[in-house]
Amino acid sequence: MFERARDARAIVGICEMDLIYLDYNCFQRGFDDPRQTRIQMEALACQELFIMAEVGTIKLIWSFMHLDETNLCPFPDRKYAIFGMASLCQVRLGPTEDILQLAKSFQATANLSSKDALHLACAVEVKADLFLTCDDDLRKKGQNLNLTIELLNPINYITKEVP
């Protein structure tokens, strides 16, 4: 199912389009409690990202970590919806030793959880332009790693993109 994607741009023929790795919480945000304004805004921003992927203005990445977390989801309706969103991801990334080693270094350097470190390592390995997450702590810790990839909240990306 997954192919090795060292340079995803060459695989999908990306020119000026943003290549984006979404943290798993971006796939789940629409299912969270909408009573908080921030959750509503992030859910709308994530929905907009999937629309942008559908019309071809951005390219999204689906990794083995997304698949693993989706398979662990105990709610069948959410799984079904997330697999639908996954179909919009044009770049697929399987596990590699390089990703594992990079994730271990992120854990040691920035005190990231194993899942967060693996997601971030996947984004770096595939040379994504951006890593979008609703997790403020992950963004702060990731920025301390001095990576070339930009870490943003989906709201910040959507508002940045709107003229």
Provide the whole-model pTM: 0.88
Q: Specify the pLDDT at position 1.
A: 38
Q: Specify the pLDDT at position 162.
A: 55
Helix and strand totals (H; E) in the chain: 9, 5
87 contacts: CB under 8 Å, gap ≥ 6: none
Q: Which residue has the tokens 């019309």?
A: 55
φ/ψ (deg, to 5) at 152: -140, 160
Which domains does the chain show, CATH number per domain?
8-161 (3.40.50.1010)
Helix axes 114-125, 136-143, angle to 10 degrees: 60
Q: Specify the pLDDT at position 161.
A: 58
- With 0-12 CB in 10 A as exposed, 13-18 as middle and 19+ as buried, what is 16? exposed
Strand order in the sheet with 91-93: 91-93, 58-63, 18-22, 130-132, 150-152
Question: From first to last of its 163 residues, what are the pLDDT tens digits of the chain?
Answer: 333 344 444 444 434 689 999 999 999 999 999 999 999 999 999 999 999 999 999 999 999 999 999 999 999 999 999 999 999 999 999 999 999 999 999 999 999 999 999 999 999 999 999 999 999 999 999 988 989 999 999 999 999 855 5
